[in-house]
Amino acid sequence: MTTPAQEELVRTRLWRPWRLLALVAIYVVIAHVLPRPDGVSAQGWRITAVFASAIAGFLLQPVPAAVVVLAALVALAILGGVPMPRVLSGYGSPTVWLVGIAMLMSRPVKDTGLARRIALLFVRRFGGTSLGVAYSLTFSEIILAAGIPSITARSGGIMLPIARGITDLYHSKPGPTAGLLGTFLMMSLFQSSAVACAMFITGQASNVLIARLAQQQTGTPVTAFSWFLSALVPGLACAFLIPWLIHRVARPGIVKTPAASAHAREQLIVMGPVRGKEAVTLAVFSSVALLWLSSAWHGLDVTLVALAGLAVLLLSGVYDWRAALQESGAWDTFIWYGGILTLSELLNETGTPKAFAAWVGANLSNIPWFAALVLTMMLFYYLHYGFASVSAHLLALFLPFLAMLTALGVPPRMAVYGLACMANLSAGLTHYGTTTAPMVFAENYVTLAQWWRIGFYASFVNLGVWLTIGLAWWKLLGYW
């Protein structure tokens, strides 16, 4: 008798050849069937076709993302005529190294118990009610997002087990008792993780890449501090409103949770004071996060800061190099990230995004830029229904939409942060919207109907906040 997982694996293997053929078909149709825009060379149009096929590979997933990217790099050299030094240039980018190093550094934060301690401190202080527990998980994740650029490691690996442990305290299990506490906590945890992603350049892996591409296309400096400052007020507003909203639409049967605070207090006593490897990790983590956020003042390269932090952890013995080599997620991200950076930069050089912007601009030239920004942010948000990852969403649509908005007269900083934050926030729409969505959904506390309904309600809050408080905050910052 086969398990559901085994049946899914068989279905995936059966569909894989057809999905690979679909990627080839996409390349052929774009490169040899669709008319080439004015101003785009034949080579540039082939590069555009390779990029489109790679993004489709992210969506169809016939093979892992890193394999898709490696194949696309080969196609760049053979079909696009791109020299090999240029094909591999992405792997020499400090941006790619920054993401890889930051993901490696997240391991000791988890292994030494520091991340768990941070969450328990919040639960001990604010966990007397179910809403207080939700806020504890939310702000724990926001703090961790300042230095852990992986929503999977942060939310799935650290926060989800804590949330599950709290639901167990109150005997809220998947099934008839899910509504006692589990449904509310799981949805609050997941929706809040999307807010945390939007608040920091390190919120999730592709944020750093998007910041680099935005700076190259618009000339707007995008730093860890500028991102944090831009998202601070609307992000905090969403962090307070989202758990409250879910508490209203998925009200838990248990409202008072004194055992959660007591449990956190007991666990902190068992953990004892911060010392040894955990103390070193805390010092390094805090120093790196502060230096990232203050880079505009001291001028230190953020990648240098991250590399120095990793070196300290390795030299002190807090982090073992063999353990670092086993961080497959970090190395996998490094491979696809470096390749997609090359693809994105080359796409920008082809002139295709500019041609798209010119076409849209010609059809929307009579719309005021403010109205165009609001409508585009809403459209960009709900287009995530068609994406299974924030990275795929951003890589597929960010550059052309950014080119369109700036061509219509939208101030660059508003266009950059508007699109980047919308893509991160929209991850909460579906049970497949980002890597942690299937992890939380698999806990079986939330039905599919509940998930989509709450995700849709949360979209009203996120869009409402960013299009009112957010735009007002950007006005105060002088963005428009």
Any alpha helices (H) in 61-180, and if so which ranges? 65-78, 84-87, 94-111, 114-126, 130-145, 151, 160-169
What phi and psi, each to the nearest 5 degrees, are found at residue 408? -85, 0
Q: Token pair of 183, please?
A: 């449904």
> Residue holding tokens 């006692």?
180
If we measure between CA atoms, which residue out of 408, 446, 413, 418 comes closest to residue 430? 446
What pLDDT is recorded for position 315? 94
Q: Which residues contact 14 (CB under 8 A, 6 or more apart)?
A: none
> Residue holding tokens 């555009």?
48
SS3 label, residue 256: strand
Residue 129, strand partner residues? 256
What pLDDT is recorded for position 245? 96
What pLDDT is recorded for position 86? 92
Q: Whole-angstrom distance between the N-terminal and C-terminal Cα of the chain?
A: 63
CA-based torsion, 348, 351, 352, 355: positive or negative: positive
What pLDDT is recorded for position 238? 97
Counting other chains too, the contacts that 368-375 makes at CB distance below 8 Å and 24 or more residues apart are: 369/405, 369/408, 369/409, 369/410, 370/410, 372/405, 372/408, 372/410, 373/405, 373/410, 373/414, 373/415, 373/418, 374/467
Q: Token pair of 15, please?
A: 């569909």
What pLDDT is recorded for position 4? 45
This model's pTM is above 0.75: no
Cα–Cα separations (whole angstroms), residue 268 to 121, 140, 164, 257, 273: 8, 15, 18, 18, 8
What pLDDT is recorded for position 8? 46
* Helices (runs of H) and strands (runs of E) counted in the chain: 25, 0
Q: Token pair of 281, please?
A: 């990790």
DSSP 8: H
Q: Token pair of 34, please?
A: 């669709």
Output the tens digit of pLDDT for each of the chain's 480 residues.
Answer: 455 445 544 455 556 788 889 999 999 999 999 999 888 899 999 999 998 898 788 777 788 878 888 999 999 999 989 999 999 998 888 877 877 787 787 788 778 888 778 778 877 877 788 898 899 889 988 988 887 777 776 777 677 777 877 787 777 888 889 888 889 999 999 999 999 999 999 888 788 888 888 888 888 888 888 999 999 999 999 999 999 999 999 999 888 888 778 888 888 899 899 999 999 989 998 888 778 767 667 878 878 888 999 999 999 999 999 988 988 878 887 888 788 778 877 887 888 877 776 776 677 667 889 998 999 899 899 988 867 678 778 877 888 889 889 888 899 999 999 999 998 999 999 887 787 787 788 788 998 889 989 999 999 999 999 999 999 999 999 999
SS3 label, residue 171: coil
What pLDDT is recorded for position 198? 94
